[in-house]
Amino acid sequence: MRVALFITCFNDTLFPDTGRAVVTVLERLGHQVEFPEEQTCCGQMHFNSGYADDGLALARRFERVFEPYEAIVSPSASCVGMVRDHCPAIADRVFELTELLVDRLGVVDVGATFPHRVTLHPTCHSLRVLRIGDRPRRLLEAVQGLELVDLEEPQECCGFGGTFAVKNADTSMAMLSDKLRRILDTRAEVCTAADNSCLMHIGGALRRQRTGVRAMHLAEILAATG
Amino acid sequence: MKGFPAAARETLQDSQLRRNLGKATQTIRAKRLRAIGELPDWEQLRDSGEAIKARAMATLPEQLERLEAAVTKAGGTVHWARDGAEAIAIVAGIAEAKGSREVIKVKSLATDEIELNEGLHARGIEAIETDLAELIIQLGDDKTSHILVPAIHKNRAEIKALFERTIAAGQDLGWEATAIAEAARKHLREKFLTVPVAVSGANFGIAETGTICVVESEGNGRMCTTLPETLITVMGIEKVLPEWRDLEVFLQLLPRSSTAERMNPYTSLWTGVKRSHPPDGPQEFHLVLLDNGRTRVLADEVGRQALHCIRCSACLNVCPVYERVGGQAYESVYPGPIGAILTPQLRGLDQAPTLPWASSLCGACYEACPVKIDIPSVLVHLRARVVREEKSKLAPEALAMRAAAKTFSTRGGYERAQGLSKLGRGPLGKLPVPGWSTMRELPVVPESTFREWWRTRGGAGS
């Protein structure tokens, strides 16, 4: 199957390893990845911050860039949510990575090995916008050597929320500190999620506090082979 | 008004508040899930609730006229109040005509919204709250912090101390909850039996029959709506339901969403005045229909769904922001997610411009709402309205966002911006970002972007 990668501007610039991991996983499964280089930003930041006209103009542009592709995959539940809601021409062709793997490609075991103790933060937009449910968990459970440990109150927001993290920094930090305590309670080595935006926020605090716990995108775990 | 970020900064310092709230909301969240899990048709009920409310709002003028006609026919008097001042004047006028210097009150958000108690006080009339939590707020000269449990921020020790300072002065009430509540009971019982005028709100007003419905747990509402000679109901115009049969849906949705009960202990329904010998119940009934900004909300096609709210408070109980900051950070009688979309619309965006941002858009509220108000979408819609109507196009944020949108609108601009981001690998990357760097490190900017790697790899396929 030929799949166009919607990398997201955020991952393209700050988390290229996640994009490389998506390519690794899909190619390992025998699929061909294309990367439309005209893509920039889907407009979510503008749209959610009150700059609707700018956000929607970027969404229109995004829609035109991806219109020729039959299947589109992205390692970000949040950006997929934006595209599904605001790019009607491609809404039913864009998939979050775990949706593509489990639903479209029918794969749960992607041939990964990751011998570490991992906890999963399911992310708000995965759960409540895309409703991807237990797909990330099923993929993680099939990874060789991986020990998955439950997070307490997993469905609760980590406090990132895009510009919320700086506009309401005090509230965001109060939410983050509770999420962090629950992550540390699991004694996991790695906290994973289907979105690097939440992970940048969680991981930034894990590093600041020198916890030794790594924040790592789900795709990178699925790409690992030991 | 401090605005949400500053008000939240203050309330976040209150560790007792956070402990009380965390405990209370966690308990009610689990109970609510059990209560709604019992009903196989819960989702259909939500759909029905949403549809009935949408119909009521789309035909509001007609429904209000039907309600007025039905109440009048049943012996009640209907008054129309454009704003709080008009409503207060109507209530005060009725109390004065009855020669009463006191009124007893059923818990009512509409009357809190217009500050009825303060307004009556200015005219020499004392309003006595009869709901236990509202009484606690009133005695403590405090502000409410939750729609359903206004004193949720107070624990037993704080309430005991308050009562021993006020209605039970000089007594030691002990630590038993029942003994502490008994002090309020004694205080209120005397008021129920002597005050001749009561004021209530309304959960629902049925246009078809002219029936008013108040749903409550303590029985104080039943006392207030049956014992006094005169009953005044202040009802927001959005509380109208077209038909009697609509009530069936809401009497299932409301208790399970609010207190997580199958049925609330007291549901009082009355239609005008009951004429009998000897007299039974209030012999004079006044319905005050309150606008106070509601027609303005109705004019916004996206925002108007905020008027569908049935004040269950499920959205507060599931909100991670509310759980940490508490109700008072919202500086309104309507706190939490619903407050963040209702208050700016009722008061005007310029009066509460920070509230639409008081959310991480996590979506827990939408999932819990019994009438499916899409709170995250309304928040985003109101953000856009604030930016468009209230903010300067030359504000630093507006300029930065405009520039970013322009940059991202071409591949060349975008890739040049990516090049600039690599400056973050140098000393610039060590500079703290206000709001972010207090608690979190910035990500390490990678040596190459994804697309640079893609090109070195030679594009698709190996």
A144-159: pLDDT as tens digits: 999 999 999 999 999 9
- B276 and B404 in a single domain? The answer is no
User: Contact, B201 vs B207, CB < 8 A?
Assistant: no
Domain membership of residue B411 (yes or no) is: yes
Give the orientation angle of helix A77-86 with respect to helix A52-66, to 10 degrees: 90
**pLDDT level of residue B461 (50, 70, 90 thresholds):** low
- B364 and B400 in a single domain? The answer is no
**pLDDT level of residue B462 (50, 70, 90 thresholds):** very low
**Summary mean pLDDT of chain A:** 97
Residue in this structure with the two tokens 């639409």, named with its chain if needed: B356
Exposure of A126 by Cβ count < 10 A (0-12 exposed, 13-18 middle, 19+ buried)?
buried
- B328 and B453 in a single domain? The answer is no
- B134 and B157 in a single domain? The answer is yes
Cβ contacts of residue A124 below 8 Å, gap of 6+? A155, A157, B360, B361, B362, B363, B364
CATH number, domain of B80, equals 3.40.50.10420
Per-residue pLDDT tens over the stretch A66-99: 999 999 999 999 999 999 999 999 999 999 999 9
Decide which of B391, B407, B425 is a domain's last residue: B391
Cβ contacts of residue B409 below 8 Å, gap of 6+? A40, A57, A58, A61
Helix H or strand E segment including A215 = strand A214-217
- B230 and B318 in a single domain? The answer is no
Per-residue pLDDT tens over the stretch B125-135: 999 999 999 99
Per-residue pLDDT tens over the stretch A19-49: 999 999 999 999 999 999 999 999 999 999 9
Cβ contacts of residue B51 below 8 Å, gap of 6+? none
How high is the pLDDT of residue B38? 97
Range of the domain at B191: 39-292
A168 to B357: CB separation less than 8 angstroms, yes or no:
yes
Q: Which of A6, A12, A27, A121 to mutate to test the interface with B (most CBs of B within 10 A)?
A: A12
The minimal CB distance from A47 to the residues B380, B418, B452 is found for: B380
How high is the pLDDT of residue B312? 96
A35 to B454: CB separation less than 8 angstroms, yes or no:
yes
Complex ipTM > 0.85: yes
**Summary mean pLDDT of chain B:** 95
Cβ contacts of residue A146 below 8 Å, gap of 6+? A112, A114, A115, A116, A118, A140, A221
Domain membership of residue B300 (yes or no) is: no
- Give the whole-angstrom CA distance, residue A184 versus residue A153: 13
Domain membership of residue B462 (yes or no) is: no
Report which residue type is found at B152: I
- Per the document, the length of chain A is 226
* CA angle, residues A64, B376, A104, in degrees to nearest 5: 50
Domain membership of residue B139 (yes or no) is: yes
Decide which of B349, B371, B391 is a domain's last residue: B391
- B248 and B279 in a single domain? The answer is yes
> How far A158 CA lies from chain B's nearest CA (Å)?
9
Decide which of B349, B367, B391 is a domain's last residue: B391
Which residues of chain A does B412 touch, with a Cβ-Cβ cutoff of 8 Å? none
Please state the domain count of chain B. 3
- B329 and B403 in a single domain? The answer is no
Domain membership of residue B117 (yes or no) is: yes
Per-residue pLDDT tens over the stretch B29-86: 999 999 999 999 999 999 999 999 999 999 999 999 999 999 999 999 999 999 999 9
Residue percentage of chain A with pLDDT more than 90: 100
Domain membership of residue B301 (yes or no) is: no
Radius of gyration of the CA atoms of chain B, in A: 26
B384 to A51: CB separation less than 8 angstroms, yes or no:
yes
- B94 and B204 in a single domain? The answer is yes
- B378 and B413 in a single domain? The answer is no
**pLDDT level of residue B217 (50, 70, 90 thresholds):** very high
- B47 and B165 in a single domain? The answer is yes
Which residues of chain A does B438 touch, with a Cβ-Cβ cutoff of 8 Å? 169, 173
User: Contact, A104 vs A95, CB < 8 A?
Assistant: yes
B451 to A166: CB separation less than 8 angstroms, yes or no:
no
> How far B368 CA lies from chain A's nearest CA (Å)?
11
> How far A142 CA lies from chain B's nearest CA (Å)?
26
Domain membership of residue B303 (yes or no) is: no
- B201 and B329 in a single domain? The answer is no
Domain membership of residue B298 (yes or no) is: no
The minimal CB distance from A171 to the residues B12, B440, B441 is found for: B12
- B194 and B229 in a single domain? The answer is yes
Give the per-residue SS3 of chain B: CCCHHHHHHHHCCCHHHHHHHHHHHHHHHHHHHHHHHCCCCHHHHHHHHHHHHHHHHHCHHHHHHHHHHHHHHCCCEEEEECCHHHHHHHHHHHHHHCCCCEEEECCCHHHHHCCHHHHHHHCCCEEEECCHHHHHHHHCCCCCCCCCCCCCCCCHHHHHHHHHHCCCCCCCCCCCHHHHHHHHHHHHHHHHHHCCEEEECCCEEECCCCEEEEEECCCHHHHHHHCCCEEEEEEEHHHEECCCCHHHHHHHHHHHHHCCCCCCCEEEEEECCCCCCCCCCCCEEEEEEECCCHHHHHCCCCHHHHHHCCCCCHHHHHCHHHHHHCHHHHCCCCCHHHHHHHHHHHHCHHHCCCHHHCCCCCCHHHHHCCCCCCHHHHHHHHHHHHHHHCCCCCCHHHHHHHHHHHHHCCHHHHHHHHHHHHHHHCHHHHCCCCCCCCCCCCCCCCCCCHHHHHHHHCCCCC
Per-residue pLDDT tens over the stretch B330-368: 999 999 999 999 999 999 999 999 999 999 999 999 999
> How far A7 CA lies from chain B's nearest CA (Å)?
8
CA dist B217 → A43, B131, B322, B435 (Å): 47, 9, 24, 43
B residues 300..319 contacting A (CB < 8 A): none
CATH number, domain of B367, equals 1.10.1060
- Tell whether the model's pLDDT for residue A176 goes beyond 80: yes
